[in-house]
Amino acid sequence: MLLPNSLKVLAVGFSAYLAAASGVGAAETNYYNSKPWEVVLHTSEAPNEHSYCAVRTSLWDTRTISVETQIGAADAVTMAIRIRKENWKLPLNQTTAVGFMTVAGIGAEATMKAINTEELYYEIPDGSVDERSLILSTILQQIFGARQPPSLTVKFAGNEPMWTVPALNRYQTIELNEAFSRCDVDLRGLRANSIEGTADTSPFAPASSNSRIQNAPVTVAQSPTDWEFYTRGEGGLTCFASTHRGIVMVGLMGSPGKDHVGFVSSLFTGETRATWHVDDMPAYVLNGREGDGATWHEFGQLPTELLNQMAQGKELAVTGAKGERVAVSLAGAADAISKFKACYGTPDPDSAAAGSPARPK
């Protein structure tokens, strides 16, 4: 959601520093500076370090929790978690289990690696649909995007005490998400500049292998098991079939006796209309509404024929009216969709399919 100009948070500063080990310049631009979270764009000229947008804690002077987003090949989005504490003396390259929990009792555990003596790091696998990654992604979406965001508690092994980050209020959530959107735009601009550079290209020049690669459709390599079927039992049985591309989740959900709906997370803002299109088959334009969180959108009146297309096709593209787009492979979708249909069943045509099923917890 965009704020009026009078309420927009201005970038409050730009700080530069030199990387101690390599001497290569690095910098951070601040887009939102409040407590308990801030939004920064980290850039570096080091060849082995990527630029990223970070939503980072600002509560403590000597320790931070940072949720970082990078833009990779073919505009693929990857997300990582970095935890830092001064004077930690961590054993290099060793791993440890770290738990992330909300006050609602939702929790997930990540195996984080010590990348230096003061930092733990975990990258959420691109395209991963295992339950742990799904729950962890949902936790992060809730603490930054829900209408009533929960607090976050981080639990460590050993004798490190728990860290608790207070919840954002609704106004802070709007500010933070607006700031992150601007950071994301700038990050994508940096990515485009780094790819294009000063290449000698022209619309009148003969096509080369490099240009064909750059103009290829936006797709991400995915394994045949990227689609997953699963169920949730809170408030009655709810059936799901879903996949990920970076931090964006796309899928189907339904409960016995109710209409099934499509859902997309971390792509749209506000009320939206989107085209769901499988390969060169007929496309469907559906109305989307925000679910429980600002980053979660549900699309009702999902045609059964679209499910059949997804089970038979190669790629599903969901494109919003403002140009937002995600394309996911349908490899492995047939089995997940078959189980999904068997789970929720077909609603009685004469019954009122009231309401939408609960979203994943």
Q: How far apart are CA 101 and CA 17, in angstroms?
A: 34
C-alpha span between 25 and 341 (Å, rounded): 54
Mean pLDDT of 162-170: 92
With a cut of 80, say whether residue 187 has pLDDT above it: yes
Mean pLDDT of the chain: 77
Question: What fold characterizes domain 228-344?
Answer: Immunoglobulin-like (2.60.40)
Q: Within 10 Å of residue 310's Cβ, how many Cβ atoms?
A: 24
Residue among 117, 64, 113, 116 nearest 87 (CA): 117
Each residue of 233-270: pLDDT tens digit?
A: 655 688 888 887 766 788 998 888 788 899 988 788 88
- Is the CB of residue 37 less than 8 Å from the CB of residue 176? yes
* pLDDT of 36 over the 80 cut: yes
- The residue among 247, 338, 360, 232 whose CA lies nearest residue 293 is 360
- pTM of the entire structure? 0.54
What was the pLDDT predicted at 90? 96
Q: Is the pLDDT higher at 172 or at 18?
A: 172
Instruction: Specify the pLDDT at position 255.
Output: 85
Categorize the per-residue pLDDT at 20 as very low, low, confident or very high, splitting at 50, 70 and 90.
Answer: very low
pLDDT of residue 228: 84
- pLDDT on residue 11: 30
The yes-or-no verdict on residue 2 having pLDDT over 70 is no
DSSP 286-313: EEEEE-SBTTEEEE-S--HHHHHHHHH-
Q: To 10 degrees, the CA torsion angle through 249, 255, 259, 262?
A: 0
Beta bridge partners of 70: 78
* pLDDT exceeds 50 at position 224: no
- Give the per-residue pLDDT at 233: 65
What pLDDT score does 244 carry?
76
- With 0-12 / 13-18 / 19 or more C-beta atoms within 10 angstroms meaning exposed / middle / buried, residue 41 is buried
Q: Where are the domains of the chain?
A: 5-193, 228-344
* Residues with Cβ within 8 Å of residue 121, at least 6 apart in sequence: 80, 81, 82, 83, 112, 113, 114, 115
- Lowest mean per-residue pLDDT among 153-157, 175-179, 251-255: 175-179
| Burial of 316 per CB tally in 10 Å (0-12, 13-18, 19+) | buried
Pick the more confident residue, 249 or 329.
Answer: 329
**Which stretch, 202-216, 297-311, 346-360, has highest mean pLDDT?**
297-311
Q: What's the pLDDT band for 126 if we cut at 50, 70, 90?
A: low
